[in-house]
Amino acid sequence: MMRLRIKYVCLFVFAATALVSCGGQKTDRKLSVADTAFSDGTLQKLQGIWIDEETSMSFCMIKGDSIFYPDSLNVPLRIMARIDKLALIGSDTVLYPIDVLTENRFCFHSTTGDNVCLRRSEDPNDTVFFSRKESTPIIYNEVVKKDTVVFCKGDRYRCYIYVNPSKYKVYKQSYTNEGVAVENVYYDNVIHICVYKGKTCLYAHNYSRKSFVEIIPEEFLQQAVLADMKYGYTDDDGFCFYASVCVPDGAICYVVEIRISPHGEVRMNLLQ
C-alpha cells in the first residue's frame, strides 16, 4: 500500500509545469463538458477496472461518467471520451490523446509525455480496491489553543489563538508520476484570534482562507487552506499575528501579517 500511495502523490509545482510543457492539454472546463463530439460510444468501451501493464497494479475503475482511483484520498473525477481523446474533469479539465483502445487494452499519452498502457482486469477481486463509498477527507490540523501574555505601553494583555478544523472542503487537483489527473479533498481551518485587556475584548475575529481574497491570488486560494496562525510580537503600534495560507501537502505558502492596534483596528499585509 505504501508503494501505491507514493505512486499517486506529486508536487503541485511539478503538476503545473507538466500541464504547460507535455502531452496532456489543459483546457476550458465548460467547453469540454459541452463538446458533443465526446458522445461517440467510446466511454462505454472504457467501463470497468483497468490494470497498469508495467506494475500489474489496479490503476482506475471507470463507472458511468466517473473515474475512481485505488487511493482513498483521491475523489472521483468526471470523465468524457471519444475515439482519439480522453477528458478528465475536476478543478481543471485535462485532455489526453488516446493511442490504443481495444476490448482489453487502453493506451494514452499523459501530461508528462509518458505512454500509459492499461489492460482490462479479469479478476473480480480487484473490485476491493474501489469498494469505498466516498473518499476520506484529510484533516490538515488538529485543534490548537494558544494563549500569550504580552505588554503594550506598560499595560498587560492576553492574545488568544484557536485553530479549529472545519467542515469546509477544499479540492486540490494534482497529478500522478505518469501525469494523470487526480483530485484530493481537504478540510479548511477556521482560526479565531482575540486580544483582551483584563476582561475587555479589544478584538475578536474568525479567519478562514476566504478572509484573504483581496491580497492572495484567487487561483491559489481555490486549492489552499488556512494552515496556521502564530503570534508574532507586540510594540507600541499594537499586536502582530502571522497567518499561513498553504497548498496542502505542498511547499507553497503565503504568509499574511495581521496587525491589531490597541484600539481594535486591524490591517493586513502580504509578506510572501
Which range, of 10-19, 93-102, 178-187, averages the lowest pLDDT? 10-19
Rounded CA gap, 222 and 110, in Å? 24
C-alpha cell at 49: 477496472
DSSP, res 8: T
Closest by Cα among 86, 108, 82 to 95: 86
Kindly report, residue by residue over 174-219, the tens digit of the pLDDT: 777 667 777 777 778 889 999 999 889 999 999 998 899 899 988 8
Which range, of 59-63, 78-82, 89-93, 200-204, averages the lowest pLDDT? 89-93
- 0.75 cut: is pTM over it? no
Percent of the chain with pLDDT over 90: 22
Distances in whole angstroms, Cα of residue 52 to Cα of each of 73, 85, 152: 19, 19, 63
Residue 39: pLDDT above 70? no
The CATH architecture to which 2-130 belongs is Beta Barrel (2.40)
The CATH architecture to which 138-270 belongs is Beta Barrel (2.40)
- Residue 212 exposed, middle or buried by CB count within 10 Å (0-12, 13-18, 19+): buried
Distances in whole angstroms, Cα of residue 122 to Cα of each of 1, 21, 51, 55, 58: 21, 36, 9, 16, 11
H-type alpha helices, 118-222: 218-221
117 confidence band (pLDDT: 50, 70, 90): very high
Mean pLDDT, to the nearest integer, of 157-167? 86
Which range, of 140-154, 202-216, 221-235, averages the lowest pLDDT? 140-154
pLDDT at res. 33: 45
pLDDT at res. 20: 33
Residue boundaries of the structural domains of the chain: 2-130, 138-270
> What is 62-110 written as a DSSP string?
EETTEEE-SSTTEEPEEEEEETTEEEEESSSEEEEEEEEE-SSEEEEE-
Which residues sit opposite 74 in a β-bridge?
Answer: 184
At residue 9, φ and ψ (nearest 5 deg) are -115, 135
Of 75 and 270, the structure prediction assigns the larger pLDDT to 270
138-270 has the same fold as 2-130: yes
